[in-house]
A and B are shown apart, each in its own frame.
Chain A
Amino acid sequence: MKKIFSRPECLKPTPFHYCPGCGHSILHRLVAEVIDEMNLRGRIIGIPPAGCAVLAYDYFDIDMCEAAHGRGCAVATGFKRSRPECIIFTYQGDGDMAAIGTAETLHAANRGENITSIFVNNAVYGMTGGQMAPTTILGQKTTTSPFGRRSNVEGYPLKITEIISTLPGAAYVARTSLATPAKVMATKKTIKKAFETQLAGLGYSLVEVLSPCPTNWKISSIESFKYLEERLELEYPLGVMKEVTTEKGS
């Protein structure tokens, strides 16, 4: 019997603290698998966010540096500019990436900063208890949008990935989902592509991953994966939005 699926090497044996059915856990594994497969452990640095994934450094067996809420892309810029030989990625939630850290994110992308962002969109603030996120969809109830998000009061879901795809500095921009095994595998391929983009020095790469938060969506794990596919993917269409394959001049 041949073992064909087991724990990636660059994850420590520590069990995840995430809730049952949480997308962060699946995504951690995917990122770790890609690091293993691309043999990046000795040169990669991860920047976890303030958010549910703040403890990512307890799981990844790679160098990791915490960033203040939203500042991941600025910290990553400092790393990449001083150690261009290293592969730098931020791992950020929607609040981190698209609310408090919008400026850092957009400008890093616009500079064509040669870093990768893995952006976990679960349409809520997970860590702080399920408040409204910039990505919360219209009608979605959260603890701070108890009547469901209303466009005339709370505004519209922010599609930061689409915005970033319009920036010349962005080299690879894609949105994926964790809703099914096929989509999970596609997410892994997309992350690989993003790291390859960075290795090739092509510019900023971003993978937005639609991810379930059963706890704050207040539904079961199974239902949350359905909701992901049936609701969130409607609001946030999957696909590669931008792919640059050759280096631009200065």
Chain B
Amino acid sequence: MNKRETILMKGADAIGEAAVRAGCSCYFGYPITPQNEIPEYMSRRMDEVGRVFLQGESEIASINMVLGAAAAGVRAMTSSSSPGISLKQEGLSFLAAMELPAVIININRGGPGLGNIAPSQGDYYQATRGGGHGDYRMPVYAPATIQELYDFTMESFDVADIYRTPVMILGDGMMGQLVEPIIVHEREEIDLPPKDYILNGAQERPSRIIKSLILDTREMEEHNWKLKRKYDLMRTLLPRYEEFMTDDAKLVIIAYGTAARIAKGAVKRVRSNGLKVGLFRPITVWPFPDEAVLSLTKKSKVFLVFEMSTGQMVDDVRLAVSGRVDCEFYGRPGGIIPSPQEISRIIERYWMQKEL
């Protein structure tokens, strides 16, 4: 493929290509629908570029292979979907504790349990609240277009290296399957901190240890505070969001990922009927763009959170606005993809109810 070109690409392939061009040296993963196109793409592409593709025997094994590769100092990634991401939580906790960079693609499907293979946003809590055990956080990007899927997958490798942290890309089956024209570009070189922690044999240097066991409680507390300082820095520097027609909006619909695409369609529809409605779309769901949400309360008095779940991100929105505005919720869990018409009807209902 050329340096920079516009091509039609499926979400899963965009993820794979972005990872390859971000310099990902190792992919480890275990098949699960609806994300199998990612390992399938990687199995071909990584071979082409002479890098490592390995199908692990489970998600647990795969995330631990990623951990080994990250500790060895190379860029590594894995991908999975809900039940598989559950199995990766132990590994995520270890990556966070050991401060190792890694990229995890999470193509959310219907749950709990085996659930189904339809697009869902039911894993927001798991993704944004750490998921694994212990006091850690993890940057989570929720792209809504294939271009974003490409760009943020690429960028997440840098974020992982800069902060020495696992980074998650949160999508759903819809994002994985969608085909859109995108600009495929190379990664921009940026200054990254030296990888002075990696293990490659103690050749003419003191030996190194990578570990998470800290038996001394004071030391463990210090490590927790150190991580916290890092997370605070991320909270200031990483939040991203998109605002669409919010300038004069009396009602703002808040949605991310696939739900935001639907909501955008709905906003366009109701706008054509003269309703002043806008869309706020968190791009990072951790750190949540709470300051941007808060400043929206100066303009708009009604927030409507729409998720393809029974309501999870709505908690973050309510925390961000802390009672300043009415925060309503509409959800379709279980793998249902509502139409923009359905969402515009909901918007219209609130518009009437709230006498906007």
Indicate yes or no for A touching B, C-beta below 8 A: yes
Q: Using a CB–CB distance below 8 Å, which chain A residues touch chain B? A: 41-45, 47, 54-55, 57, 60-68, 71, 74-83, 86-87, 103-104, 106-107
Main secondary structure of the interface of B (DSSP, over half): mixed
Tell which of A63, A65, A81, A87 touches B54, judged by Cβ atoms closer than 8 Å: A81
Q: Which residues of A contact B72 (CB under 8 A)?
A: 45, 78-79, 82-83, 86
Cα–Cα distance between A42 and B65 once the two chains are bound (Å): 22
Chain B: minimal CB distance from A90 (Å)? 10
Q: Which residues on the A side are within 8 Å of B58 (C-beta)?
A: 103
Pair A42/B203 contact, Cβ less than 8 Å? yes
Q: Are A66 and B26 within 8 A (Cβ)?
A: no
How many CB-defined contacts (below 8 Å) exist between A and B?
Answer: 132
A to B CB contacts below 8 Å, 19 in the list: A41-B201, A42-B201, A42-B204, A45-B201, A54-B213, A65-B71, A71-B67, A74-B68, A75-B65, A77-B65, A77-B68, A79-B68, A81-B52, A81-B69, A82-B73, A83-B73, A86-B72, A106-B57, A107-B61
Q: What is the CA–CA distance of A106 and B94 in the complex, to the nearest angstrom?
A: 22
Count residues on chain B whose CB falls below 8 Å from chain A CBs.
Answer: 40
A57 to B209, Cβ gap below 8 A? yes
State whether A43 touches B203 (Cβ < 8 A). yes
Option from A47, A63, A67, A75 in Cβ contact (under 8 Å) with B200: A63
- The answer for the CA separation of A43 and B202 in the assembled complex, in Å, is 6
Nearest opposing residue in chain B for A48, CB measure: B211
> Whole-angstrom distance from the CB of A137 to the nearest CB of chain B?
28
Bound-complex Cα distance A82 to B156 (A):
20
B145 proximal to A (CB < 8 A): no
Q: Are A75 and B64 interface neighbours, CB within 8 A?
A: yes
Instruction: Give the residue of A62, A68, A78 whose beta carbon is less than 8 angstroms from that of B26.
Output: A78
Is B104 engaged at the interface, CB distance under 8 Å to the other chain? no
B76 touches A82 (CB 8 A): yes
A63 touches B70 (CB 8 A): no
Answer whether residue B212 sits at the interface, using C-beta atoms and an 8 A cutoff: yes
5 closest A-B pairs by beta carbon, nearest first, are: A78-B68, A42-B203, A74-B64, A43-B201, A78-B65
Check if B210 sits within 8 Å of A76, measured CB to CB: no
A198 nearest CB across to chain B (Å): 14
Interface string of B2-25 (1 = CB under 8 A from A): 000000000000000000000001
Is A78 in contact with B202, judged by CB distance below 8 angstroms?
no
Segment 194-243 of B: residues with Cβ below 8 Å from A = 199-204, 207-213
CA distance A136 to B249 in the complex (A): 69
B91 on the A face (CB < 8 A): yes
Q: Let me know if B56 is at the binding interface, CB within 8 A.
A: yes
A63 closest partner in B (C-beta): B199
> Is the CB–CB distance between A86 and B65 below 8 Å?
no
Determine how close the nearest CB of chain A comes to the CB of B126; give it in whole angstroms.
19
Bound: A79/B70 CA distance, A: 8
Is B66 engaged at the interface, CB distance under 8 Å to the other chain? Answer: yes
A104's contact among B28, B64, B207, by CB below 8 Å, is which? B64
The residue that A79 contacts in the complex, of B57, B91, B199, B204, with Cβ under 8 A, is B199
